[in-house]
């Protein structure tokens, strides 16, 4: 439950923040629509399953919601988490594997560039997420959080978070808790804009690095679209 001594600034639940979220999610969806379409086409060309993955996460005030991501995993991947538990590089109770063997080839590219998170623009638009805030955890992981860390649900979860500025395998659970609580206590328009600008620069560098590393993705996309 929420700690009465920790109160997020009014901005965290303000109309100002909601207007910013709606405006940016709509703008980003329009600008990125061609890219989103290409990603969906490639996913569908490689798999008979859905292009969008849905999962229950914990949001504002501990209420569950459905988060959207591009499908990146091989069939039955969720059953293999225990098998690869020893490869986890993320602090307890979160789970992340470097070069996750459960990912398909295109899924690995999407994961490394974080393009798999783009469908969460839908979550921001409908209001169960914000552009900036603590990242939402799956229900199973949330139950294992410390009481203090669960205070992260005092604000809406975000598409981007301050923790992204650190390698997840280099922060401890206590450090991650402090990062989340710092945002909750100091949320503001300027802080959100700063985090968004830094995030945009950060992910643009990662995307360009991955594209440069695997130039053949350009050729594959051009070949596939030309084939239609």
Query: Using 50, 70 and 90 to split pLDDT, how confident is the model at 167?
Result: low
Q: Quote the crossing angle between the two packed helices 105-113 and 15-46, to the nearest 10°.
A: 160
Query: Using 50, 70 and 90 to split pLDDT, how confident is the model at 218?
Result: low
Residue 222 scores a pLDDT above 60: no
**Mode of pairing for the β-strands spanning 52-58 and 64-70:** antiparallel
Q: What are the extents of the domains in the chain?
A: 10-227
Query: Using 50, 70 and 90 to split pLDDT, how confident is the model at 2?
Result: very low
pLDDT-above-90 percentage for the chain: 53
Please report the pLDDT score of residue 225 as a whole number.
52
Please report the pLDDT score of residue 163 as a whole number.
85
Classify 195 as helix, strand or coil: helix
Work out the average pLDDT over 128-154: 93
* Stronger pLDDT, 174 or 211, i.e. the higher one: 174
**pLDDT tens for residues 70-101?**
999 887 777 777 777 777 777 777 878 777 88
Please report the pLDDT score of residue 19 as a whole number.
96
Helix H or strand E encompassing 123 = helix 120-126
Compute φ and ψ for 106, nearest 5 degrees.
-70, -35
């Amino acid at each position: 439950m929420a700690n009465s001594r920790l109160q997020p600034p009014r901005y965290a639940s303000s109309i100002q923040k909601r207007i910013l979220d709606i405006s940016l999610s709509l703008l980003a969806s329009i600008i990125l629509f061609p890219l989103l379409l290409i990603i969906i086409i490639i996913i569908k060309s490689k798999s008979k399953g859905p292009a969008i993955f849905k999962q229950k996460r914990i949001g504002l005030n501990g209420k569950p919601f459905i988060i959207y991501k591009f499908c990146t995993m091989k069939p039955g991947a969720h059953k293999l988490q225990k098998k690869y538990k020893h490869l986890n590089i993320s602090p307890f109770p979160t789970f992340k594997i470097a070069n996750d063997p459960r990912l398909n080839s295109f899924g690995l590219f999407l994961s490394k560039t974080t393009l798999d998170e783009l469908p969460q623009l839908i979550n921001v638009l409908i209001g169960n997420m914000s552009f900036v805030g603590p990242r939402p955890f799956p229900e199973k992981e949330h139950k294992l959080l410390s009481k203090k860390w669960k205070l992260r649900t005092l604000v809406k979860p975000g598409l981007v978070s301050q923790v992204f500025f650190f390698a997840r395998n280099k922060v401890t659970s206590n450090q991650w808790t402090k990062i989340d609580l710092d945002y909750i206590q100091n949320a503001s328009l300027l802080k959100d804009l700063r985090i968004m600008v830094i995030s945009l620069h950060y992910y643009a560098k990662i995307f360009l690095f991955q594209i440069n590393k695997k130039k053949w993705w350009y050729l594959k996309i051009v070949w596939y679209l030309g084939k239609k």
